[in-house]
Chain A
Amino acid sequence: MRILAIDDTRTLRELLCRTLRAASYDVVEAENGEEGLARFADHRPDIVITDLNMPVLDGIEFTRAVRSRADGTGVPIIILTTESGAEIKAEGRKAGATAWMVKPFDPQRLLDMLTRFKK
């Protein structure tokens, strides 16, 4: 199972990727939405986990772009962010985000969530 992890903050990306790799996921990293889109096209991830607030292309724009791809409609996108406002969440859903998790993330909870996607 391949996961695309997008976060512009290296620390958080590192933390996320290590958590995922430790759970034997195949992880592809990207530093912002634009890079994420390129990785998405090249690597065809099964799941995407993305930060919201990023330079170049943010998480919402990224989600919208993925959803507009022919191969991007069925891929779950989890937004992992510090933002928890109802408005921004609604915007995320409208863009096509599958799930919303609030940082700092609890690795176990994230992994639990991912096992649900596995099936």
Chain B
Amino acid sequence: MLGLFRRRQPQTRVLVIGLDGVPHSLLTELMDRGAMPNLAEIAASGDLRPAESTQPTVSCAAWTSFVTGVNPGTHGVFGFVDREPGGYQQYITGTRYVRAPQVWRILGERGRRVIIMNVPVTSPPPEINGLLVSGFLAPKLEGATHPPELAARLQRLGYRIDIDPWQARQSLDLLLDDLAATLKGRVAGATELLTTEPWSYAMVHVMGTDRINHFMWAKWAADDPDYAPRFVDYYAQVDAAVGEIAPAVGDDVELLLLSDHGFTRTLHEVNIDAWLRAHGYLGVSASEEAKLAQVDESTRAFSMTPGRIFVNLRGREPRGSVEPGAEYEALRNEIADGLMKLTDPDSGEPIMDGVVGREEIWHGEALELAPDLLAIPRDGYDLKSALSGDDLFTSSPITGMHTFGDAFWLIRGRQFAEGTPRVEDGAATVLSLLGEELPGHFDGRAMV
């Protein structure tokens, strides 16, 4: 009987919708044009801010920072492909490589049930207190859910993890059809799970926005008569998706939308491996079969996308050639100075915003996985590492690239705290919204 008299606050629930790679500037422009009325309405009632990503500015690193609340030097995800510490072997990142607890693990330990849909770096699916479907890089829906039987349920709703990037490279029309179908499945899956299952934290991720930006940004930027309207139309579909999911879960749910990085037009792709080779740092000759495993003592430095430069250090790499200490530092300075002098062949403008040592931007237990140097480009210069080619400036069907700034955070019905939100503020913000105590190890802060 006592229970009848005990005052019980209804438990707060938080829904995060991740719109991968959507720039703040694009969002405001599309809102002004009336193409995104649902997001505009949320912004009118709440707070929309430009936000910052993480370094390197890649989705796997950034979303892992959001869900763990720490920098890549602590969580250990620096790219979608990472390198074994002190070796030449690479692996595709995934659940097992994340070295810091995600917000769903923290909440699970406190008895809170979660629903996590399509967040990058959750493959294979971890066993959590709730439901999870893996995101970007999960090879198939089958085997990508916790519990396993969730896959069949989502399959029936037309759920897809991602578009087929092969098709995207064949034709923009195929890409657009694929994007629409994938989004439709996402809305069906999210609405079904969020309205029939118990949860206190949910996170629904949309990768399609990043995908369309990569393949169609130039069409949008050039106001292409055929494809710019279809680019806008996809964003209108995304807006409608939010307009369907948000009311379904109810107004009492705290709603946060965000992107993990901004986007801009690619002026040039810059092959850092070609630069390292031309300057005598990289000993692996260009060929289709070239791979990092061929690095030997003739190599002093090698790289991985985007702008991650590793010194071939004696005593650390198996065939290291550079002495630790003074020689290592001198080499890092030399490479940094050289890259800073690199200029755009068309405009003569510098390409790099900075070239920084690992200890300057990251800290933590996973620093051993970090590159020795990170080259940070100015917007428009997309840093790639391809051992196969000798051309410094290259092009590909990809027409857009990530930016560190110009991401967005949008919250319904309240204001953010002072300052620019950074992606690693995610976990602290989510826990604060839920009224949960923050653990001591976060790098980010609560933005509410």
Co-complex (A, B): no
Residue ranges of A at the interface with B (Cβ–Cβ < 8 Å): none
Residue ranges of B at the interface with A (Cβ–Cβ < 8 Å): none
